[in-house]
Amino acid sequence: MTSVRTFLLMVCMAVLLPLALAQSATPPRLTASDAKNHVGENAAVCGKVVDSKIPKYGLAGHGKPVTFDLDQPEPNPVFNFVAFGSKEGGPEEVVAAYKGKRVCVTGKITTGVSGVPFILAADRSQIKTEADNKGDNK
């Protein structure tokens, strides 16, 4: 009986060990302007929301996607992320949640047709607000 328990324990460890080791460390933290050098990677891109755009049409099941520019607005954005408002508040709710705030958005960095790197934050838990550093001279 003891050898069966030992065998089952070894099998469980052999199955669970690769899963435990496969979990990656915290993704690297990047500035909005540095994101272009990390396309295809998972990272946390941080910056200040300086502009947002709400399109005329939405996506079925998600509503209207809102595009937020970090650090530099149109016509020369350096990075943006896309998020969706809540079903109750719509796109205006998500704009109010992040407008003018410093945020870090975690996810896979991709580029669109315009060549501007972005992260699609379909899950709002990917977006974290940060305290503004008043004493920072940036």
Q: In CATH, what class is 26-130?
A: mainly beta
Residues 71/50, Cβ–Cβ less than 8 Å: yes
Task: Give this prediction's pTM.
Answer: 0.76
Query: What confidence tens digit (pLDDT) does each residue in 62-116 have?
Result: 788 999 999 999 999 999 999 998 778 889 999 999 999 999 999 999 998 889 9
Pairing outcome for strands 65-70 and 42-53:
antiparallel
